[in-house]
Structure 1
Amino acid sequence: MKYIVILGDGMAGNPLAQLDGRTTLEASHTPVMDELAKQAEIGLVSMVPEGMAPGSDTANLSVLGYDPKKYYTGRSPLEAFSIGVDMGAEDVSFRCNLVTLSEEEGIPYEERRILDHSSDEISTEDAGILLEDLKKELLGEAIDVGNAFEFYRGTSYRHLFIWKNGKILELIPPHDILTKKIGEFLPKEEILTEMMRKSYDILEQHPLNKKRRSQGLRPANSIWFWGAGTRPELPEFETKTGKKGVMISAVDLLKGIAVGTKMKNVHVEGANGGLHTNYEGKAEKAVEALLKDGYDFAYIHVEAPDEMGHQGNAGDKILAIENLDRKVVKVVKERMDVSGEPYRMLILPDHPTPIAVRTHTSDPVPYLLYDSTKKNQQGAERYCERTGRCSGTWLREGYRLIGHLFED
């Protein structure tokens, strides 16, 4: 038996008037998932424990079977695993987004608003140029005041900042405060806030940002620190589950979880965490790992629905969900069926990212559990939030769901 998770990040949502009271998942044309739903187990699951922030970090740990209340120490340390940063026990890491702030003339930094948490999903190459210039300008001054800081390039707008022997601070994710004035959300630690202020002075007139504006793209004109944490200790996935697994994701967070749990990260050319990613390549690599390379478990993570939710773009979120159905679920199912290898496949979001709020929520999400050896189950007419609620099944401790997947 082979086991597959297809994770549509942020795929769930709330009803929208513009979609005649449907969610983006309900409004999407998803014939493959809907056909599977007729022969699958449908239910609701809460991937974010009560009292914890609804992030992809806590939620994806849950999906993989790690209780966040036991194992979670912050988001950015998981990303540090992916980037290859060897954190010391007393080091604190932070996510460092390249964001777009409003650029009104003559107003202080604190009065500016966050317009885009991703700077129009800036490319990794462009981000690397900006980050190198920031390091040259900012780190010399930081060292002068007796602190040891370092920046590390990640993917697209997502980067890493390490504070040696630093402090854990409560910080706000930029996607939670889109369009709001930033003053009340800045770090209480002045040296971090000062770095953010100076980053705007450096980046606002940077030649690369001038070029981006001329191309109709938003400038990456400030850094934003959040997601502070210390190095986590995660049990190996294979030791914990008895399954040899691979991770297929373009996002450093998921890659980092894989590194921390000793799963294999599989690189997919053209996978970028955006709407126009290599969906089919992810599916093909998963099947290859299962059928040719001897792995038992494949985790396929698709970031696009979440990104489109943060952008508040219902049409593109629907497109992302339809791409997941047509280019990932369909390809995996067809390849596995042709092989004759029995398999169990779990399809779900990690959390909702509703269009109206443009950030994550803690609401339970619908899951679909399909078993290729059990074709006569009484399922549902389609896969969506409504059929999940109507199922009567609600698993409140989401980290237990993967054990259900592994039941033969």
Structure 2
Amino acid sequence: MTEHGDISDVWEDLVQGGGKIVYLVLDGGGGLADPFTVRTALQGARTPNLDRIASASETGLMEPVGPGITPGSGPGHLAMFGYDPLRYRIGRGVLSALGVDFELREGDVAARVNFATSEAGKVVDRRAGRLDSDVNRRLCKKVLDSLELEFDGELYLETVSEHRAVLVLRGEGLGGELTDTDPQATGREPLPPQAQDEGSRRTVELVNRFLEQAHRALAGEPANTLLLRGFQRYSPLPSIQQRFGLRGLCLAQYPMYRGVSRLLGMKLGPRPESVEAMFKALQQRYHDEDIDLFFLHVKGTDKAGEDGDWVAKVAVIEEVDRLLPRVLAIDPDVLVITSDHSTPAVMGRHSWHPVPTLIRSQYARIDATQHFDETACATGSLGLRPGLHLMGLALANAGRLKKFGA
């Protein structure tokens, strides 16, 4: 067992059949107090249903990766699904590619792409005004049509959504250990990619040629720059069914989170057109005999937080709260509500702050928490725990873990 609580070597001996588990993930749901209202978005939102569930649950705070570590969405989700993110390191590019149903092959190198806007060589908008997806598709084609790389392999540039795309490189001898070109801030020049091992030097040369030609093709466009991050050489992971005996179904809207699910061997339901459609799909599929774990993902909380829009984040939380009676109507064996990380609107980015979490089941040790927010959950019976503990707790509450030892 590692200091982070990873018990990967014994899971197969512990898991057994049991009840169904629903994961409802409010992406970036945790936050900090708004300077005007002196409340976090969870505290400022009107959430009678969420609070009612919290009052009948065990609650606490989870640190997705570790103290003070600001997690990306990939590591945050891996932890909550029981994969130590310090052991299973997954690049954003791989998740993005899998999320748009790109058929990655072992050895492919993938990177997340942001269409961005730059002036005088410096980034002025990292998301190019949250570019329309149709414009994204046009620009991807424009870039691909312009390339003359003299590369003995294949290069793909695929639209994900809005300003997001994914770059996939396929060929012999390509390493995936590259630093990001995204400076993660405006007013700065894009960073040159750097090889972090000898095997990635050829990849860096190819990426530099690609970026030079892509930027030439995008000159004059509102999105005239490509920012790359999350490089990785693809290698499959053990599935969630192999590790935990769970047959999962992903009901997420956004491609990246569908990519996480696909990487872990879950089935992908049709992409819901709205949050309401996602809850409706849960109601329709909950009694499917071949599904044990349902993953619902709400992106709007994170998006509003990154935009620095506290009011919009409150509105997303209240929308989810209005839909929660649909979950209560099916009375899942285990209901988990949590986040993959915090995205305080006052910061406008991911942060290291622990996320409020609840577990509702017939075996949960109900505590005194009456509200689902950062302060209330800090006093809950779960305490402050590594995010990696969440899957074990969910399995136990579903009756899916045998006794360990004699």
**TM-score bucket of the superposed structures, by smaller chain:** 0.7 to 0.9
Match of 1:182 in 2: 189
Alpha-carbon offset, residue 52 of structure 1: 6.0
Q: Secondary structure of the equivalent of 1:5?
A: strand
Q: Secondary structure of the equivalent of 2:110?
A: strand
Structure 2 counterpart of 1:153, which letter? T
Match of 1:166 in 2: 174
CA spacing shift, 1:75–1:51, aligned 2, 3 Å: farther
Match of 2:305 in 1: 309
- Aligned residues of 1:367 and 1:388 also touching (Cα < 8 A): yes
Pairing of 1:132-147 with structure 2 (within 5 A): 132-137=141-146, 139-140=147-148, 142-143=149-150
d(CA) in 2 for partners of 1:347, 1:8? 8
Structure 2 counterpart of 1:171, which letter? D
Aligned residue among 229, 232, 242 for 2:232: 229
Match of 2:47 in 1: 30
Match of 1:383 in 2: 372
TM-score normalised to structure 2 length: 0.82
Match of 1:332 in 2: 327
Match of 1:214 in 2: none
Cα shift readout 1:23-68 (whole Å, capped 9, x = no counterpart)? 1121111111111111111101111245865100000011111111
Structure 2 unaligned blocks of 5 or more: 1-18, 195-203, 398-406
Match of 1:43 in 2: 60
User: Residue 286 in 1 paired to residue 282 in 2?
Assistant: yes
Cα shift readout 1:281-305 (whole Å, capped 9, x = no counterpart)? 0011122221245422101011111
d(CA) in 1 for partners of 2:363, 2:77? 27
| C-alpha RMSD of matched pairs (Å) | 2.5
Alpha-carbon offset, residue 78 of structure 1: 2.3
Structure 1 counterpart of 2:174, which letter? G
CA spacing shift, 1:98–1:293, aligned 2, 3 Å: farther
Pairing of 1:308-387 with structure 2 (within 5 A): 308-327=304-323, 329-334=324-329, 336-337=330-331, 342-371=332-361, 373=362, 377-387=366-376
Q: State the number of aligned residues.
A: 367
d(CA) in 2 for partners of 1:149, 1:159? 13
d(CA) in 1 for partners of 2:67, 2:180? 19
Cα shift readout 1:108-157 (whole Å, capped 9, x = no counterpart)? x2xx223243x3333332211111111111x22x236x675321232332
Q: Secondary structure of the equivalent of 2:230?
A: strand
- Aligned residues of 1:71 and 1:232 also touching (Cα < 8 A): no
Q: Which structure has more helix as a fraction of its residues?
A: 1
Q: Secondary structure of the equivalent of 1:358?
A: coil
Aligned residue among 273, 298, 303 for 2:294: 298
Q: Secondary structure of the equivalent of 2:396?
A: coil
Q: Secondary structure of the equivalent of 2:286?
A: helix
Q: Which moved more, 1:308-317 or 1:3-12?
A: 308-317
Match of 1:113 in 2: 123
- Aligned residues of 1:95 and 1:159 also touching (Cα < 8 A): yes
CA spacing shift, 1:96–1:128, aligned 2, 3 Å: same
- Aligned residues of 1:73 and 1:232 also touching (Cα < 8 A): no
TM-score normalised to structure 1 length: 0.82
Identity %: 23
d(CA) in 2 for partners of 1:357, 1:331? 33
Structure 2 counterpart of 1:220, which letter? A
- Aligned residues of 1:77 and 1:232 also touching (Cα < 8 A): no
Cα shift readout 1:214-242 (whole Å, capped 9, x = no counterpart)? xxxxx433221111112133212122222
d(CA) in 2 for partners of 1:333, 1:203? 49
